[in-house]
């Protein structure tokens, strides 16, 4: 147990190490494959030009894996990192909230939903662990916020959001997504304001 706690402290202090990034790249890549399969029915009934806005979680894990892979190659990709990390955090929390809401409304506690809850909690945790050490400039924050808002508009303006777990969840899903977009954007802005280092710097850059 002491070794696990020590390893977690090392990860929390500096997750931008190859010994942490390589396993996460593999895990997220494998999760992405399963995630795209999960969405195959919804993708089949969606016009191809909208596909990028349908599989929110597997796209987030794909971007996350690519962001870590590119970080291993060297610095200088902070916009891509910001988009990937915020997506992992946002859609991880979003799914945890929606599954919890489903259970609170009387939905059965089954293996599939439990597995999705745990894996999406992991998405949120990894996104936060890396995002907290990112030092994006104002332009990167604005572009990342734009991408999150665009996804929300596509999801709830055009109805491209993931299939929900029960009837009546559309409004809670919208409120959760919008609230997370605002909260994550505000968090990045405050982090930039109070960061000790200059904008655009941080581990992995």
**Block residue for tokens 């919804």:** 42
pLDDT bucket at 201, cuts 50 / 70 / 90: very low
The H or E element containing residue 143 is helix 138-157
Query: Would you say 136 and 205 are in contact if contact means Cβ atoms under 8 Å apart?
Result: no
Q: Which two tokens stand for residue 30?
A: 């494998």
Torsion angle, alpha carbons of 102, 46, 44, 54, to 10: -50
How much is the average pLDDT of 97-105?
96
- Axis-axis angle for helices 56-73, 111-131 (nearest 10): 40
60: left (phi over 0), alpha (psi -120 to 50) or beta: alpha
Q: Mean of the per-residue pLDDT values for the chain? A: 92
How many residues appear in the chain? Answer: 205
pLDDT bucket at 75, cuts 50 / 70 / 90: confident
Q: Which pLDDT does position 4 carry in this prediction?
A: 86
pTM confidence score: 0.91
pLDDT bucket at 205, cuts 50 / 70 / 90: very low
DSSP code of residue 195: -
Q: Which two tokens stand for residue 120?
A: 């999406």
Q: Count Cβ neighbours within 10 Å for each residue of 27-42 and write b for 16 or more, e otherwise.
A: bbeebbeebbebbeee
DSSP code of residue 205: -
Q: Which two tokens stand for residue 22?
A: 């390589």
- Chain center to CA of 138: 20
């Amino acid at each position: 147990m002491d070794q696990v706690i020590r390893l977690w402290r090392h990860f929390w202090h500096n997750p931008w190490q190859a010994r942490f990034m390589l396993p996460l790249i593999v895990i997220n890549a494998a999760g992405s494959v399963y995630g795209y399969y999960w969405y195959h029915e919804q993708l089949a009934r969606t016009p191809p030009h909208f596909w990028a806005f349908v599989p929110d979680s597997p796209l987030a894990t794909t971007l996350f894996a690519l962001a870590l892979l590119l970080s291993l190659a060297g610095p200088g990709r902070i916009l891509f990192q910001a988009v990937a990390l915020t997506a992992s955090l946002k859609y991880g929390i979003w799914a945890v909230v929606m599954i919890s809401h489903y259970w609170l409304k009387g939905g059965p506690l089954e293996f599939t939903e439990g597995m999705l809850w745990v894996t999406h909690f992991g998405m949120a945790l990894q996104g936060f662990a890396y995002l907290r050490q990112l030092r994006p400039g104002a332009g990167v924050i604005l572009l990342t916020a734009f991408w999150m808002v665009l996804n929300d508009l596509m999801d709830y303006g055009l109805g491209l959001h993931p299939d929900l777990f029960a009837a009546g969840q559309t409004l809670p899903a919208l409120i959760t997504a919008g609230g997370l977009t605002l909260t994550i954007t505000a968090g990045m802005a405050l982090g930039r304001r109070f960061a000790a280092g200059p904008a655009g710097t941080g581990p992995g850059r």
